[in-house]
């Protein structure tokens, strides 16, 4: 039995899905969505809040403010509610309605930015708004997940050691890149320990993080319109960039097997599958990180009307899915995990 008195005290750190029957490689998906925030961002939120309290920047009467596409906002709402701080989440039109509702239910204020900034996209506009509020009232405390080292420290202290403990023979780790907190925390942990683990970043087409052209991205979580300050590419061995249509197909493929994951998980699994197909991956043990679950995406990725509006009729052609499913089910399940 687990008994807690604060919502941050529970986080499932030990759960992996064996994806061999779906991607045809020894790929284990670390599930980070089983906590009260429903996502991996609970770890970053907790680490950043506790560090700000420790430094004295955050104190009774402070109001947290943060730019978030949803998940960090929900995590900070939970922490703010449980500790008695105010919280303003600055987001944009891509934020899921359910994430917004969750933040409001937890007592936070949500400000939705409707228009991108001229050069820096929606993210630039969100950050400009946060800066303006902080300049106007000194009670505001901006943790700034894009540049805060405690964002990546959360993962070098928790996520990466947990993976290393269960997969001592790990060869490749696939991590989606948003702020790059998860990526940099895991990469720093394995590189600094001199473990020969290849770190593969997974990003979305339309993101500028690894030097790509800025373009339309409808799925929140991964990708940026401003290069994240936390990113140090020296720690990254390879980058895979995934089209949103492939993300969507992968999400639906996982869902048809009973695993309803969030959009960024579809991106990471799609990118990991492609990387493993293109490399001699027979004997490799690989882990990918699933940042959240699918319930926040029922009105978008899992909604036919939304898919039709943004990606047209063919994105989920029934034949494709049926073909994928038949192929998945014909994969030999008999191998034992290659740990
Ligand atoms: C669903 C989802 N996936 C992935 C990420 C990216 O994580 P990070 O910011 O650590 O790069 C986020 C970040 O908000 C997210 O919400």
Q: What is the pLDDT of residues 60-80, one digit of tens each?
A: 999 999 998 789 999 999 999
Tell which residue, 20, 12, 70, 75, has the closest CA to residue 48: 75
DSSP 8-class letter at 212: P
d(C-alpha 275, C-alpha 268), whole Å: 10
Nearest CA to ligand 1 atom 7: 178
Q: At what angle do helices 244-255 and 318-330 cross, to 10 degrees?
A: 60
> Do 278 and 294 fall into the same domain?
yes
One domain for residues 195 and 172: yes
Q: Residue 155 CA: which ligand 1 atom is closest?
A: 10
CATH number of the domain to which 117 belongs: 3.40.50.1100
Same domain, 117 and 199: no
Q: Whose CA is nearest to atom 6 of ligand 1?
A: 178
Q: Examine residue 62 and state whether it is found in any structural domain, yes or no.
A: yes
Q: How far is the CA of 190 from the centre of ligand 1 (A)?
A: 20
Q: Which atom of ligand 1 is nearest to the CA of 179?
A: 9
Task: Tell me which residues have their CB closer than 6 angstroms to ligand 1.
Answer: 39, 41, 69, 71-72, 176-183, 221-222, 262, 264, 291-292
User: Are residues 153 and 246 part of one domain?
Assistant: yes
For the record, the structure tokens of 49 come out as: 């809040």
Distance 109 CA to ligand 1 centre (A): 21
| Same-domain check for residues 160 and 250 | yes
CB of 205 within 8 A of CB of 215?
Answer: yes
pLDDT value, residue 328: 56
Q: Which of 158, 221, 251, 263 to mutate to test the pocket of ligand 1 (most atoms within 8 A of CB)?
A: 221
Nearest atom in ligand 1 to 72's CA: 14
Distance CA(244)–CA(278), nearest Å, equals: 20
For residues 138 and 163, state if they share a domain.
no
Do the bridges between strand 198-204 and strand 86-92 make them parallel or antiparallel, or are there none, so unpaired? Answer: unpaired
Indicate the number of domains in the chain: 2
Would you give the DSSP letter of residue 111? E
Structural Rg of the chain based on CA atoms: 19
Is residue 20 situated within a structural domain?
Answer: yes
Are both 162 and 207 inside the same structural domain? Answer: yes
The confidence score (pLDDT) of residue 327 equals 56
Asked if residue 328 belongs to a domain, the reply is no
Structural domain containing residue 58: 40-142
Does residue 322 belong to any structural domain of this protein? no
Residue 283 is assigned to a structural domain of this protein: yes
Which numbered atom of ligand 1 lies nearest the CA of 69? 14
Which residue positions in the chain have pLDDT lower than 70?
117-120, 318-339
Is residue 324 assigned to a domain? no
User: In angstroms, what is the span from residue 148 Cα to ligand 1's centroid?
Assistant: 14
Q: Are 198 and 123 members of one domain?
A: no
167 and 107 part of one domain: no
Dist. CA 142 → ligand 1 center (Å): 18
Same-domain pairing of 111 and 168: no
Task: Identify the pLDDT of residue 332.
Answer: 43
Q: Which of 70, 242, 264 to mutate to test the pocket of ligand 1 (most atoms within 8 A of CB)?
A: 264
- Please report whether residue 58 resides in a domain: yes
Residue 93 has a pLDDT of: 81
Which atom of ligand 1 is closest in space to residue 185's alpha carbon? 10
Q: Is residue 60 part of a domain?
A: yes
Indicate if 121 and 205 belong to the same structural domain. Answer: no
Q: For the chain, report the end-to-end CA distance as a whole number of angstroms.
A: 29
Q: How far is CA 11 from CA 8, 84, 120, 268, 332, in A?
A: 7, 21, 35, 21, 33
pLDDT digits (tens, 9 = 90+) for 279-331: 988 889 999 999 999 999 999 999 999 999 999 988 887 655 555 555 555 54
List, in sequence order, every residue forming a beta bridge with 241; answer none if it has no partner. 203
Answer yes or no: do 23 and 70 share one domain: no
Q: What angle do CA 245, 159, 8 make, to 5 degrees?
A: 100
């Amino acid at each position: 039995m687990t008994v807690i008195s604060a919502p941050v005290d529970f986080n499932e750190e030990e759960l992996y899905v064996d994806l061999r029957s779906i991607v045809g490689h020894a790929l284990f998906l670390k599930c980070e969505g089983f906590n009260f925030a429903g996502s991996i961002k609970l770890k970053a939120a907790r680490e950043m809040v506790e560090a700000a309290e420790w430094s004295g920047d955050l104190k009774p009467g402070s109001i947290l403010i943060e730019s978030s596409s949803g998940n960090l906002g929900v995590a900070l709402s939970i922490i703010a509610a449980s500790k008695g701080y105010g919280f303003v989440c600055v987001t944009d039109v891509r934020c899921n309605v359910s994430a917004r509702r969750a933040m409001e239910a937890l007592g936070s204020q949500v400000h939705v930015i409707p228009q991108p900034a001229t050069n820096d996209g929606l993210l630039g506009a969100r950050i400009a708004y946060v800066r303006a509020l902080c300049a106007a009232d000194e009670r505001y405390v901006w943790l700034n997940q894009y540049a805060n080292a405690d964002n990546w420290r959360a993962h070098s202290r928790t996520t990466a050691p947990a993976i290393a403990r269960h997969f001592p023979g790990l060869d490749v780790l696939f991590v989606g890149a948003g702020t790059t907190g998860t990526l940099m925390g895991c990469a720093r942990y394995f590189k600094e320990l001199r473990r020969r683990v290849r770190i593969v970043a997974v990003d979305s087409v339309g993101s500028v993080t690894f030097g790509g052209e800025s373009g339309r991205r409808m799925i929140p979580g991964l990708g940026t319109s401003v290069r994240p300050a936390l990113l140090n590419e020296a720690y990254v061995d390879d980058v895979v960039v995934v089209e949103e249509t492939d993300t969507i197909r992968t999400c639906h493929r996982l869902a048809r097997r009973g695993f309803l994951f969030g959009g960024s998980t579809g991106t990471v699994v799609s990118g990991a599958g492609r990387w493993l197909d293109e490399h001699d991956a027979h004997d490799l043990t690989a882990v990918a990180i699933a940042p959240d679950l699918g319930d926040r995406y029922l009105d978008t990725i899992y909604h036919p009307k939304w898919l039709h509006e943004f990606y047209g009729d063919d994105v989920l052609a029934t034949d494709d899915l049926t073909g994928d499913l038949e192929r998945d089910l014909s994969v030999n399940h008999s191998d034992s995990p290659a740990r």
